[in-house]
Amino acid sequence: MCRAIAADPALVRRYTWTDRLVAVVSDGTAVLGLGDIGPRASLPVMEGKSALFKQFGGLDSIPLVLDTTDVDEIVETLVRLRPSFGAVNLEDVSAPRCFELERRLVEALDCPVMHDDQHGTAVVLLAALHGACAATGRDLPALRVVVSGAGAAGIACARFLVAAGVRDVVVLDSRGVVDADRGGEKALPAAQTNPRGVRGGLAEALAGADVFVGLSSAQLPEGLLATMAPGPFVFALSNPDPEVHPDVAARYASVVSTGRSDFPHQINDVLAFPGVFAGALDAGARRITEGMKLAAAEAIAAVAADGGAVSVDRIVPSPFDPRVGPAVAAAVAQAARRDPQVSAGR
């Protein structure tokens, strides 16, 4: 086999595991609920992620924790290691470095790269919104959405909702509504949306809003829920403590979701990332595109709606539903094959 690969490097896909191997890469600077704990302390999380790849996507993976926060060094390290893996899942890298790091790796590597904290969350959120709209008879593009939190997940979710056709998205950070004057990554969603020019803080943003998406530690006072549009959707996704307790939110909201497994409608990335990477690798894709992620969200929503099962009590499928991973992988692969720019030409 070694001689065969030396004569034809493409045979490495047939004779080694690299074609189905995902590198789970972190510097340990933004571990969920723990913050900057460093690479060694983050390793159990990365090992857990690898187990999820195998269980839900049928993919081999290897956790790689790097003892550096320098973007140049991380990029160089992964470029040197490229012959050993087929895709890169970035995990728990702090903002705003995570945006630059992902962009640089996409440019430097000829394989799929995705920061799951950004895009996995965005994919499942969009799937949940599709389900909530189907259950309540609402139109996705017409929703007024408020995203509380302008970190990696918040900015990615805002951008992705805009890509999906939502026209009115207001993003807030600790200083209030983010506008285009902020500069950097935070300015991009503000420049693309917020057509009503909302300014101020959470109170101003939530007045008449249809959807609250919580991706920060900021609390959502009960009084502000009463100012939203009738029957809103409340997605309080912070872990371990949601921005508002689901029982409180349910007094006003038609649909309530959290990021926790002990409450209904968990927005769990495991619904997305195993199938996204499996589909990308199945298709020989060099990139994970917006179209592939949109296809993933639609596939998750379709599984929830299969047989008319979608309702205000079930807007996303269970993470343990065996249909989810294959459905997402098939949809992502199909989307990738329709786009010749992402094909590896296998």
- Between CA 87 and CA 18 the distance in angstroms is 9
- How far CA 102 is from CA of 66, 82, 96, 153, 192, in Å, comes to 15, 15, 11, 13, 21
- Between CA 318 and CA 306 the distance in angstroms is 13
183: Cβ–Cβ under 8 A, 6 or more apart, which residues? none
Angle (nearest 5°) at CA 88 between 84 and 89: 140
171: Cβ–Cβ under 8 A, 6 or more apart, which residues? 147, 150, 154, 155, 158, 177, 178, 186, 189, 190, 194
- Lookup: tokens for 121: 């969350």
| Secondary structure of residue 269 in the 3-state scheme | helix
42: Cβ–Cβ under 8 A, 6 or more apart, which residues? 26, 27, 28, 31, 65, 92
Annotated catalytic residue within 49, 54, 186, 293: 49
Whether 150 contacts 178, CB under 8 Å: yes
- Between CA 273 and CA 328 the distance in angstroms is 9
Placement of tokens 């010749």 in the chain:
340
Reduced 3-state DSSP string for 165-218 = CCCEEEEEECCEECCHHHCHHHHHHHHHCCCCCCCCCHHHHHCCCCEEEECCCC
The conformational region for residue 92 under phi > 0 = left, psi -120 to 50 = alpha, else beta, is left
For residue 317, say if its preceding peptide bond is cis, omega within 30 degrees of 0: no
186 is catalytic: no
DSSP assignment string, 220-261? --HHHHTTSPSS-EEEE--SSS-SS-HHHHTTT-SEEEES-T
Which residues are marked as active site? 49
